[in-house]
Amino acid sequence: MTYLEGSDILSLEGIQRDELESIFETSRAMEEILRRRSRESLLADKVLGLAFFQVSTRTRISFESAMQRLMGGVVGFADPKTTRAGDYYQESLHDVMRMMEHYADAVVIRHPRDHAPAEAASYVDIPVINAGDGYNEHPTQSLLDVYTILRERGHLDDMSIALVGDMNMRVMHSLPFALAPFSPQVYFVSPPDQAMPEAWLERFRRSGLAFEQRTDLEAILGDLDVIYLMGTKTPSYAKGLTERPSERPGTPAPYVIDTEKLRRARSDLLLLHPLPRTDELPPEVDQTEAARYFRQAYYGVAVRMALLAMIFGRAG
C-alpha cells in the first residue's frame, strides 16, 4: 500500500518531511487539472461523504470541488439541523457514522467537539478526514497553508514565520506540526489572554519546533518571511455568530495587518489567512504583493484532491 492509502487523516502531530513531500508532489500534479479547469476520472467509482456538524464555506466546498474534479460522487449534509442529528432525536455520532459508512467510501467530518472525528473513525472501517474539530486541529487547512508557502516561495526550509491572533483556534494547533519538519523559526504573537496553551507548547517542543511567544510584531516584522493571521475576537466553535457587526469588539491594533505595517515588512513577505476575516485584515490589503489568502483557496483544492487520491490509492 502507498502512503495514506486506506488511512484516516485526523491530526498532523508526528507527520514526517517525506510524508509532507509526498502530499505536495501529488498536489502539484493535481494543479494541472485545476489549471486546465477540467476533470479527470480518477475517482469516478468512489463516493465521498460530507458530515458537517458545523458550518463551513471553504473547507466543505473545496472538498466537494476536489471530488467533483476527480469525477467522484458526493453525498452528505452541510448543517446538522437538516438531519436527525439536529432535531428532536439528536441522533448519535455513532449512528450517523454507521449509516454514512454504507453511503460513502470515505467521510469528511467537521464537528464542534474536540476529538469527535477520531471518535467517528473508531466506529467505521472507511477513511475519515478531520475537517476541523472544536478547538483541537484542522489538519487539511494546515497542509494547504504549508503548500501555499512552498508554491509561492519555492521552498520551505529555515523560514521565519509569525502566527498572529488567537492561539486557541484550531488552525494554530495543526500548522506548527506541518512546519516543524522544515526547521522554521516560529513566533506565536497574541494578546496575553489568548496565548498558546501550555499543553500545545509541550507537544510542539516534542515535535522539534523552534518557537517564541510574543505579544507584539514590531521587533520581528522586518525579519519575517510569512505572517499567518487570524482574528483575536473569534466566536465559539460551538455556536453561530449572533452579534451584529456593529456589536463585535474591534481587533487591537498590534494584531491588525494593514498596508502601513506591510510597508515596514520585507518586500517579499507572504501574508496568509484561513478566512473568514473581520477587521484584522482590511480589504485594501488584498491589492498588495503580500496577499496570498485567495491563492490559498486555489491551492486548497489541489491539496484536497491529492489527499482523496492518496487515501483511495489512486495517486501513483
Task: Identify the DSSP state of 54.
Answer: S
Question: CA 32, CA 3: separation in Å to the nearest integer?
Answer: 21
**Same domain membership, residue 152 and residue 116:** no
Are 117 and 130 members of one domain? yes
Span 160-165, mean pLDDT? 97
Q: Is residue 267 part of a domain?
A: yes
Q: What percent of the chain has pLDDT over 90?
A: 84
Model pLDDT for residues 291-308, shown as the tens digit of each residue: 999 999 999 999 999 999
If you compute the radius of gyration of the chain from its CA atoms, what whole number of angstroms results? 19
Q: Which residues contact 61 (CB under 8 A, 6 or more apart)?
A: none
Q: Is the pLDDT of residue 235 over 70?
A: no
pLDDT of 88 > 60? The answer is no
- Please state, in angstroms and rounded to a whole number, the distance separating the CA atoms of residues 134 and 137: 7
Which pLDDT does position 55 carry in this prediction?
84
Residue 227: how many other CB atoms lie within 10 Å: 24
Residue 7 identity (one-letter amino acid): S
Give the tens place of pLDDT for each residue, 264-292: 999 999 999 999 888 999 999 999 999 99
- pLDDT score, position 111: 95
Spatial distance between the Cα atoms of 210 and 186, rounded to a whole number of angstroms: 6
What confidence category does residue 248 fall into, taking pLDDT thresholds of 50, 70 and 90? low
Q: Could you write out the DSSP letters of every residue in 128-170?
A: EEEEEETTTB-HHHHHHHHHHHHHHHS--TT-EEEEES-TTST
pLDDT of residue 121 exceeding 90, the answer is yes
Q: Do 25 and 90 share a domain, yes or no? A: yes
CA atoms of 142 and 11, how far apart (whole Å): 10
Compute CA 138 distance to the chain's CA centroid, rounded to the nearest angstrom. 5
- Are 130 and 84 members of one domain? yes
State pLDDT tens for residues 171-188: 999 999 999 999 999 999
Higher pLDDT, 224 or 276: 224
- The owner of cell 486506506 is 6
Average pLDDT over residues 30-45: 97
> For residue 263, what are the contacts with CB-CB under 8 A and spacing of at least 6?
none
Q: Is 187 helix (H, G, I), strand (E, B) or coil?
A: strand
pLDDT number for residue 232: 86
Task: Show the domain range for 46.
Answer: 17-137+298-311
Q: How far is the C-alpha of 5 from the C-alpha of 315, rounded, in Å?
A: 9
Whether 60 contacts 131, CB under 8 Å: yes
| Judgement on whether residues 183 and 232 belong to the same structural domain of the protein | yes
- Whether residues 303 and 233 share a domain: the answer is no
Task: State the pLDDT at residue 80.
Answer: 74
Those residues with Cβ within 8 angstroms of residue 1's Cβ, 6 or more apart along the chain or in another chain: 313
Q: Look up residue 287 and give its three cell numbers.
A: 491589492
pTM score, whole prediction: 0.94
**Is a pLDDT exceeding 90 seen at residue 83?**
no
Is residue 51 domain-shared with residue 183, that is, in the same domain?
Answer: no
Residue 180 and residue 285 in one domain = yes
CATH number at residue 49: 3.40.50.1370
- The reported pLDDT for the residue numbered 57 is 86
Same domain, yes or no, for 80 and 153? Answer: no
pLDDT digits (tens, 9 = 90+) for 130-150: 999 999 999 999 999 999 999
Please check whether residue 312 is in contact with residue 67, taking contact to mean a CB–CB distance below 8 angstroms: no
- Provide the domain count of the chain: 2
Residue corresponding to grid cell 491588525: 256
Give a yes or no: residue 1 inside a domain. no
The answer on 287 and 161 residing in a single domain is yes
- Quick one: pLDDT band at residue 252, thresholds 50, 70, 90? confident
pLDDT band at 241 (very low <50, low <70, confident <90, very high): very low
For the record, the C-alpha cell of 90 comes out as 439528536
Say how many C-beta atoms besides its own lie within 10 A of residue 208's C-beta. 9
In this structure, the answer to whether residues 153 and 115 fall within a common structural domain is no
Q: Is residue 133 located within the same domain as residue 42?
A: yes
Reported as type and span, the H/E element at residue 29 is helix 17-35
Mean pLDDT of 109-131: 97
* DSSP 8-state symbol, 257: -
pLDDT at 250 over 90: no
| Percent of the chain residues past pLDDT 70, beyond the cut | 92
Per DSSP bridges, beta strands 73-77 and 160-164 are: unpaired
